[in-house]
Chains A and B, each alone.
Chain A
Amino acid sequence: MLSALLAMGAIAITLGAVLGFAAIRFRVEGNPLVDKIDAVLPQTQCGQCGYPGCKPYATAIAEGTADINLCPPGGEEGIHKLADLLGTEFKPFGGSTVPKPKSVALIDESTCIGCTLCIQACPVDAIVGAAKQMHTVIAAECTGCELCVPPCPVDCISMEPIADTTGNWKWQYPVYAIMPSQTAP
């Protein structure tokens, strides 16, 4: 009895030591978790999650101070990805956070006074223009974060939903009721 206990104890101690050593020896520098989380976030940089950008939100998730269902641009799919990554349960969006259709900003070029305020607001440098010149949005670079909308003094920026084209159209998930079909086209 005693010898068994001793043996068990010895094993436990050895294994513990090995694990402890491994933890120190193979410690990874930096915080790869933050980067991993950041990699699944949509990088819209909109701040709708309540953090100043995607990276800060990623940091907050990694620290455990933020929930995974706060990023509307990521959609439910984003939450699924985060849940997968962190090994937690999926959580639907709560309350006021609802994903919107993907949009891009559009500057009404006849109204724009060239104040450069929107340029300063855009987190991804998607607006080009110079002082007192008309500004315009590079649609391909715009993430649709809407951060440029409020600063504009003449309200010339609107968000245009991205239209369906044959280029970005997706096949739908097949829905088939397991029923004798009465609906022929």
Chain B
Amino acid sequence: MLFSPYITKPDSVSKIMLQVLFALIPGIAIYVWFYGPAILVSLLLASLTALSTEALMLKLRERPIAPFLKDNSALLTAWLLALSIPPLAPWWLIVVGTMFAIAIAKHLYGGLGSNPFNPAMIGYAVLIISFPSQMTHWLAPGGLGSAGLDFQSQLNYIFRGALPDGLTLDGVTMATPLDTLKTQLHMNGQMKSILEMPIYGRLAGVGSEWVSLGFLLGGIYLYARRIIGWHIPAIFLITLFAISGVFHLMDPARYAGPLFQWFSGASMLGAFFILTDPITSPTTPKGRMIFAFGAAILTFLIRVYGGFPDGVAFATLLMNICVPLIDAWTQPAVFGRKDER
């Protein structure tokens, strides 16, 4: 206490991150409901890896460990990554991804506050490029697929790679709705008939649409607590809606509707939890809108024309690159100087 101000708001990075983690819980709960508890295992694995990697990196960089471990940012990265990759994957997949995210994408770029790219998305990108096949084994939601897996067998698969006798991986997993859509369209399937497949529930896929709704709920909570602003999620979702709507109207047989785009893949998670990461998004209101607009367009383009099933991760990373430029261009006018520019 040497210089003013002598009082501070009882707010902290750790509390902010905790709120974000908290807001993920509805989505995770629905996830467990539809896909079984395997996701909890990957969340746990990711968390442990993240914390130990963080501690190790802090030690190597000769930074104090305790205050940084307590800031919960590594946990958030871990959770976001775990939620973006298939839960039924060999244990090392999530471990490698998390380690890469924390050690390379976060700490080699200067640690908390200095990383230009969203670490979770870097982790995801590395995994999907290096281990594409493991990354497509999404669990079939409850009631779909040829057979369900109990928790014991899920654990068995994650840690030993063994499935119960008589089951094949294809029997218990399936591609995501987005992925299926892409493959089917590729095989000249008709949009109408594709969407009538059992995997597509009411909006965008049994289970996954509900998980998305859960994330939407969490996002609204974050906004209500003013942890995030409205600019990024609103502009992202509106743009995604608009562009997919326009394409859908032009050719409904080839382009899925806007609600499908909203509730499939990582749209909701991205809009409220990934793109809004303060460290890797612009700081000015205008900049945030441009950022979200660009991310939405890129997401759509990658989903429709790209080689990957979902585009949120790559769209985020591509827009991350532009952040310094966007910030520099969108400096708002200051008090009393509104008409100077």
Contacts and interface: CB of A to CB of B under 8 A. Distances in A.
Interface in A127-180: 177-180
A179 B67 contact: yes
B67 A185 contact: no
Q: Is the interface of B mostly helix, strand, loop or mixed?
A: loop
A19 B64 CA distance: 55
Contacts of B333: none
Nearest to A185: B1
Contacts of B1: 184-185
Contacts of A184: 1
Q: Is the interface of A mostly helix, strand, loop or mixed?
A: loop
Contacts of A180: 66-67
A180 B67 CA distance: 7
B2 A179 contact: no
Nearest to A178: B64
Interface string B62-76: 011011100000000
B64 A185 contact: no
A174 to B, nearest CB: 8
Nearest to B68: A178
12 contacts: A177-B64, A178-B63, A178-B64, A178-B67, A178-B68, A179-B64, A179-B67, A180-B66, A180-B67, A184-B1, A185-B1, A185-B2
Interface residues of A, number: 6
Nearest to A171: B3
Contacts, number: 12
B6 to A, nearest CB: 10
Interface of B: 1-2, 63-64, 66-68
A185 B67 CA distance: 21
Given A178-B63, A178-B67, A178-B68, 5 more contacts: A179-B64, A179-B67, A180-B66, A184-B1, A185-B1
Interface in A8-37: none
Contacts of B67: 178-180
Interface string A24-59: 000000000000000000000000000000000000
Contacts of B63: 178
Which 9 A-B pairs give the minimum distances between C-beta atoms?
Answer: A179-B64, A185-B1, A178-B64, A185-B2, A180-B67, A178-B67, A184-B1, A178-B63, A179-B67
A178 B63 CA distance: 8
A112 B214 CA distance: 89
B77 to A, nearest CB: 20
Contacts of B2: 185
Nearest to A180: B67
Nearest to B63: A178
A177 B63 CA distance: 10
A185 B3 CA distance: 11
Contacts of A178: 63-64, 67-68
A178 B67 CA distance: 8
A184 B67 CA distance: 18
B97 to A, nearest CB: 28
A173 to B, nearest CB: 13
Nearest to B66: A180
A22 to B, nearest CB: 30
A185 B6 CA distance: 12
Contacts of B66: 180
A27 B68 CA distance: 56
B2 to A, nearest CB: 6
Nearest to A177: B64
A166 to B, nearest CB: 16
